[in-house]
Structure 1
Amino acid sequence: MIDTYWRCVALTPERITITNRKRRPSGRYFFVRRPSMLSLYDAAALRNALTLPLRVGLKSLLEKRIAQIFADGLEDLTHTIVLCPGDTEAALKAEILFSPLEREGRRWGDPGFETWWDWLHDHGGWFELIYCVGNSGFAFVLFVEDADSDGLADLLAMCRASGRGEGVGGGGD
């Protein structure tokens, strides 16, 4: 029998690995890499993100956006999420309590659905969506890697259909 999964996080300056550990019937362990979104929900997390060993394209996007967030004094009013292939809409919804694909009982692709982001931009390899919440200045900033992903197929289709341009405002609002 395979023992229960548990999460193992190995943090080293060279890499970050988030895995689930399983015990084989032989008693040896093996690791299965599980995708994990990057969730930056406060000033400390944003600062820490700049020290992570991220791919060059993503790191430069985050450096620019995080610098802007701090310059505008919004570091404690911004929740930034980085989604990569393997992440799922369900995991995103669990993290931020809404899905970009749903609005007022309608889902993207349904007749009458209107997108509702405040900003969508195609950075070439990454989509950036910004959702402002209320009048306090709070916003969710989502970076979605433009790479095939079963768990994010609808979100990518929506971004690809809408985001080929210099920056696109939201739907009907």
Structure 2
Amino acid sequence: MLSIRDDTSLQRALQLPLPEPLRVLLQDRRAMLGYDHPFCDMAHFVVVQEGDTLAQVERETGLLIQLEMADPDYTPAWEWVIDHGQFYETVFILSDDGYGIALFVMKAGIDPVLQQLLENGLR
């Protein structure tokens, strides 16, 4: 799992062997935030990689993504889910000032519960 909380950690992540579409999207999403305020005041990007569990994602982000799945219509409180081919993207807006957590979830080796939630979010 890559936790990107500032421009320095973003630059380090961009040096890793990530799929090119993900590398471009990370740069695009950073640019969309603008440069008037520090990255850490606006967002936290998390790249969920093969073998990462939903519990680990919840610990890293502080989000409760999976509550009670007894309800088949349950959907986490994300804004939207996008399928980018090799990975999913989803965003949680946490405050009125727009601070959010963006998850970029690689499809290879995805946690099956997280995959089910993301696929349900596409509908």
Normalised by the size of structure 2, how large is the TM-score? 0.82
Give 3-state SS (helix, strand or coil) of 2:44's partner. Answer: strand
- Which of 54, 66, 74 is the aligned partner of 2:18? 54
Corresponding residue of 1:42: 6
Corresponding residue of 1:94: 59
* Partner Cα separation in structure 2 for residue 78 and residue 52 of structure 1: 20
Task: Give CA deviations for 1:41-64 in whole Å, capped at 9, x if unaligned.
Answer: 123222333333322232122122
* Partner Cα separation in structure 1 for residue 89 and residue 102 of structure 2: 7
* Partner Cα separation in structure 2 for residue 122 and residue 72 of structure 1: 29
Aligned pairs for 1:62-141 (under 5 A) are: 62-70=26-34, 73=37, 75-76=39-40, 77-102=42-67, 107-110=68-71, 113-141=74-102
Runs of 4+ in structure 1 off by over 3 angstroms are: 70-74
2:91 and 2:103 in contact (8 A); partners too: yes
Q: 1:71 Cα deviation (Å)?
A: 5.1
Matched, 1:142 2:103: yes
Give 3-state SS (helix, strand or coil) of 1:130's partner. Answer: strand
Unaligned runs of 5+ in 2: none
Q: Count matched residues.
A: 122
Q: 1:68 Cα deviation (Å)?
A: 1.7
1:89 and 1:99 in contact (8 A); partners too: no
Q: 1:145 Cα deviation (Å)?
A: 1.2
Give 3-state SS (helix, strand or coil) of 2:102's partner. Answer: strand
For 2:98, the aligned partner's letter is G
State the identity as a percent: 31
* Partner Cα separation in structure 2 for residue 62 and residue 109 of structure 1: 34
- Which of 110, 114, 120 is the aligned partner of 1:161? 120
CA RMSD of aligned residues (A): 2.2
* Partner Cα separation in structure 1 for residue 79 and residue 36 of structure 2: 17
1:85 and 1:147 in contact (8 A); partners too: yes
Task: Give CA deviations for 1:22-48 in whole Å, capped at 9, x if unaligned.
Answer: xxxxxxxxxxxxxxx000012322233
Structure holding more helix per residue: 2
Q: 1:112 Cα deviation (Å)?
A: 6.0
Unaligned runs of 5+ in 1: 1-36, 165-173
| The structure with more radius of gyration | 1
Normalised by the size of structure 1, how large is the TM-score? 0.61
Q: 1:73 Cα deviation (Å)?
A: 4.4
